[in-house]
């Protein structure tokens, strides 16, 4: 038997290093029969192949040995999952962790050709930069090192902008395992809409079927969209799988922002202020664009929303994998919108205290709390649908305050039985506290959604413009040179270049102020109105004629100048 098992082990050597997830053994056996050994049946008592395999290798032994073989393959390329394995064991438990590690290592090794030769390759910002297939090698590599599954939709239809990309189910991993398949009648879906759904806990339902459980994904109208094709034995298993889908979807939306893409795109555009304080000192941070990256990570999903040790591991992994000449900043961003919580809203305690302090009401603590919830709920019912429609608006605080004040202007203390007898001063205080509370929610809610949409819009607009063809500096310089008075001394080249920089810088500041004014007013791009009129001033040692000033002004706001570039953004 020992000799037969040894030969069986040699015959299955290729499976020891295989990346096939269906492999369930690392020790192989040969079942002997009476045809091979005369009288063999008389020597055994019910020893079949299944029992023989169990004697040769238990399930814990398989997990341990399978991981060691995969470690060997990874070590050949100088890779390891050592720290991740330790943290995963602490987080999930030994047996679950070893099983999960096998899947993670196989996914990593299968993708190794891509994440190896593309590890320092950026995404293509000129061709549909927001397409799901257009990602940097660094992002892909970090995702796999952090243990996220490598999932793809079966079909991807690339559109002209990030909101026109479409996908079709099923959603599969690299081992052809289906994670989600479409419900009957569901066709191609907008990629952005599906990914927004998949990060929301309330988009999933777990339905009991006999003694098992079915996991389903529904759309915004609560219609069935997709489901996991296999039933789960326990509700906990279904919830664990759901959390993994949420984590994958959130990680897929991780943004690797190259700061150079945020540089001013036309001459005179105001630079991003390095520090808002007037009394600030620099320490090598004068240039916030060159050799810098920002990772915008999903900080609201498990396990990183609760396990700070895993979050620190992710930070270390990102910094280790980022090329040495780049400085990586890591931002863990929340994505909480507004969900009224009768048990956990601090504003309720504030309102209740105001009610208790009002001598006209003389409420007990319980009565004050009930009244506080009634008032808060009325404001919430107005605010939630209104805010959901405007969650990606980038308004300044003053604009939010004005809009929310207008939203709540018709709510009076006489609308509630419990507030009719209170003093006007108390009601004004309650109303002011609620305005402050909801303004803060509007200002800081849906952080990730807002940043992702703004960055995607920026990338789509940027891809439409070839900035090398604008040449504003060269064209302004040409106008200056053409307008020089030949009877006077010719200015030095440096003086002409300084004059060009001053003209474009002055108009850039005017443009920046014009943008800020429109944004503060809460206007959309289409309502911004006409560009500010350039005021061209004389330069030192470079006299400008009225004709020269008119030509420069026409260039800056004309079809071939700044307005053409800005139209592409709009």
257-294: pLDDT as tens digits: 998 888 766 555 545 555 544 555 555 556 778 889 99
Confidence of residue 542 (pLDDT cuts 50, 70, 90): confident
Predicted local distance difference test score (pLDDT) of residue 570: 45
Confidence check: pLDDT of 383 > 80? yes
State the pLDDT at residue 90.
63
Task: Choose among 133, 142, 138: nearest CA to 167.
Answer: 133
Share of the chain above pLDDT 90, in %: 32
Q: Is 406 part of a structural domain of the chain?
A: yes
Using CA atoms, how far apart are residues 104 and 67, in angstroms rounded to an integer? 10
Pair of tokens at residue 228? 């996991």
pLDDT surpassing 70 at residue 434: yes
- Band of the pLDDT at 170, cuts 50, 70, 90? very high
Residue range 122-136, pLDDT digits in tens: 888 888 787 888 889
Task: Identify which of 114, 111, 99 has the alpha carbon closest to the alpha carbon of residue 60.
Answer: 99
Residue 432 has pLDDT above 80, yes or no: yes
Lowest-pLDDT choice from 180-184, 403-407, 515-519: 515-519
Task: Please give the C-alpha separations between residue 195 and each of 132, 238, 251, 255, 550, in angstroms, as whole numbers.
Answer: 11, 19, 10, 14, 51
Residue 299 lies in a domain: no
For 91-131, write each residue's pLDDT tens digit.
666 666 788 888 889 999 999 998 888 888 888 888 878 78
pLDDT tens digits for range 315-373: 999 999 999 999 999 999 988 888 777 766 789 999 999 988 887 877 888 889 999 99
Is residue 398 one of the residues assigned to a domain? yes
The helix (run of H) or strand (run of E) holding residue 284 is none
Whether the per-residue pLDDT at 382 is higher than 90: the answer is yes
- My answer on whether 80 and 50 are in the same domain is yes
Query: What is the distance between the alpha carbons of residues 94 and 90, in angstroms, rounded to a whole number?
Result: 7
Phi and psi (nearest 5°) for 207? Answer: -110, 130
**Please, where are the H alpha helices in 255-414?**
308-321, 346-357, 365-388, 397-407
pLDDT confidence of residue 276 = 47
Residues linked to residue 332 through DSSP beta bridges, in sequence order: 297
End-to-end CA distance of the chain: 77
Which of these, 306, 329, 185, 154, lies nearest to 257 by C-alpha position? 329
Domain boundary among 204, 227, 252: 252
**Both tokens of residue 452?**
């992702």
Q: Which of 83, 108, 133 is the last residue of a domain?
A: 108
Residues 493, 564, single domain; the answer is yes
| Co-location of 5 and 96 in the same domain | yes
Last residue of one domain, picked from the residues 234, 252, 270: 252
- Contact present, 507 and 556 (Cβ < 8 Å): yes
Q: Are residues 420 and 477 in the same domain?
A: no
Within this chain, do residues 489 and 535 fall inside the same structural domain, yes or no? Answer: yes
> Region 159-188: what's the mean pLDDT?
85
> Percentage of residues in the chain with pLDDT exceeding 70?
89
Domain assignment present for residue 260? The answer is no
Q: Which residue has the higher pLDDT, 206 or 567?
A: 206
Alpha helices, H only, 76-166: 82-92, 94-110, 112-117, 137-145
pLDDT of residue 95: 62
User: What is the average per-residue pLDDT within 51-62?
Assistant: 83
The answer as to whether 324 is a domain residue is no
Report if residue 187 sits inside a domain: yes
Residue 186 sits in which domain range? 149-252
Tell whether 507 and 406 lie within a shared domain.
Answer: no
pLDDT for 504: 84
Per-residue pLDDT of 436-485, as tens digits, reads 999 999 999 899 989 998 888 888 877 877 666 667 788 888 998 898 88
Q: Lowest-pLDDT range, 3-12, 278-287, 333-342, 529-538?
A: 278-287
Give one DSSP letter per residue of 8-53, joined into a string: HHHHTHHHHT---TT---SS------TTTSTTHHHH-SS--HHHHH
Confidence of residue 560 (pLDDT cuts 50, 70, 90): very low
Q: Quick check: is 130 in a domain?
A: no
Residue 384 placed within a domain? yes
CA dist 308 and 285 (Å) reads 28
| Stated pTM of the model | 0.79
**What per-residue confidence (pLDDT) applies to 401?**
94
pLDDT at 566: 52
Using the structure block, give the residue that is written with the tokens 């997830």.
21
3-state helix, strand, coil in the chain (%, to 5): 50, 10, 40
Express each pLDDT in 488-507 by its tens digit: 888 888 888 888 888 888 88
The torsion of the CA quartet 545, 546, 548, 551, rounded to 10 degrees, works out to: 180
Q: How many domains does the chain have?
A: 4
To the nearest 10 degrees (0 to 180), the angle between helices 424-444 and 397-407 is 130
Q: Are 260 and 466 in contact (CB under 8 A)?
A: no
Which of 365, 363, 338 lies closest to 416, judged by CA? 363
Cα–Cα nearest to 259, from 282, 226, 227, 293: 293
């Amino acid at each position: 038997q020992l000799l037969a098992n040894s030969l069986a082990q040699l015959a299955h050597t290729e499976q020891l290093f295989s990346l096939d997830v269906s492999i369930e053994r690392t020790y192989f056996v040969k079942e002997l029969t009476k045809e091979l050994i005369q009288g063999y049946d008389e020597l055994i008592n019910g020893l079949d192949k299944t029992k023989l395999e169990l004697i040769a290798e238990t399930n814990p032994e398989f997990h341990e040995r399978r991981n060691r073989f995969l470690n060997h393959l990874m070590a050949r390329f100088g890779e390891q999952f050592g720290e991740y394995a330790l943290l995963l064991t602490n987080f999930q438990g030994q047996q679950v962790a070893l099983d999960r590690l096998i899947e993670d290592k196989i996914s990593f090794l299968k993708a190794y050709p891509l994440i190896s030769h593309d590890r320092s390759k950026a995404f293509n910002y000129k061709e549909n930069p927001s397409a799901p297939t257009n990602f940097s090698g660094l992002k892909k590599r970090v995702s796999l090192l952090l243990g996220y599954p490598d999932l793809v939709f079966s079909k991807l239809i690339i559109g002209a902008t990030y909101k026109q990309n479409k996908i079709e189910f099923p959603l599969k991993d690299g081992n052809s395992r289906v994670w989600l398949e479409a419900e009957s009648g569901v066709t191609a879906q907008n990629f952005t809409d599906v990914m927004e759904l998949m990060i929301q806990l309330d988009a999933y339902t777990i339905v009991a079927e006999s003694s098992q459980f079915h996991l389903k994904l529904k759309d915004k109208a609560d219609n069935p969209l997709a489901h996991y094709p296999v039933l789960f034995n326990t509700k906990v298993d279904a919830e664990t799988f759901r959390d993994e889908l949420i984590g994958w979807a959130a990680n897929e939306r991780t943004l690797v922002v190259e700061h150079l893409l945020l540089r001013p795109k036309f001459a005179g555009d105001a630079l991003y202020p390095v520090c808002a304080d007037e009394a600030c000192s620099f320490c090598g941070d004068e240039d916030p664009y060159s050799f810098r990256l920002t990772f915008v990570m999903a900080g609201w999903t498990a396990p990183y929303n609760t396990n700070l040790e895993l979050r620190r591991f992710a930070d270390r992994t990102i910094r280790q994998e980022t090329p040495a000449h780049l400085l990586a900043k890591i931002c863990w961003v929340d994505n909480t919108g507004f969900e009224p919580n009768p048990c956990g809203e601090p504003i309720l305690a504030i309102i209740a205290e105001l009610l208790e302090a009002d001598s006209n009401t003389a409420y007990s603590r319980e009565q004050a709390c009930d009244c506080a919830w009634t008032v808060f709920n009325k404001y919430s019912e107005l605010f939630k649908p209104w805010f959901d429609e405007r969650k990606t608006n980038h308004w300044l605080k003053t604009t939010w305050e004005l809009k929310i004040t207008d939203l709540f202007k018709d709510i009076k203390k006489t609308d509630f039985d419990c507030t009719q007898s209170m003093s006007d001063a108390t009601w004004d205080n309650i109303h002011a506290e609620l305005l402050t509370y909801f303004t803060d929610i509007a200002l800081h809610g849906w952080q990730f959604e807002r940043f992702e949409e703004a960055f995607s819009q920026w990338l789509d607009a940027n891809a439409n413009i070839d900035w090398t063809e604008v040449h504003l500096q060269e064209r302004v310089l040409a106008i200056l040179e053409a307008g020089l008075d030949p009877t006077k001394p010719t200015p030095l080249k440096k003086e002409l270049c300084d004059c060009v920089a001053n003209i474009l810088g002055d108009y850039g500041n005017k443009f920046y102020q014009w943008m800020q004014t429109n944004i503060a007013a809460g206007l959309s791009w289409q309502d911004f109105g006409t560009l500010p009129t350039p005021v061209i001033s004389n330069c030192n040692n470079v006299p400008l004629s009225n004709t020269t000033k008119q030509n420069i002004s026409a260039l800056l706001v004309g079809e071939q100048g700044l307005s053409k570039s800005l139209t592409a953004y709009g």
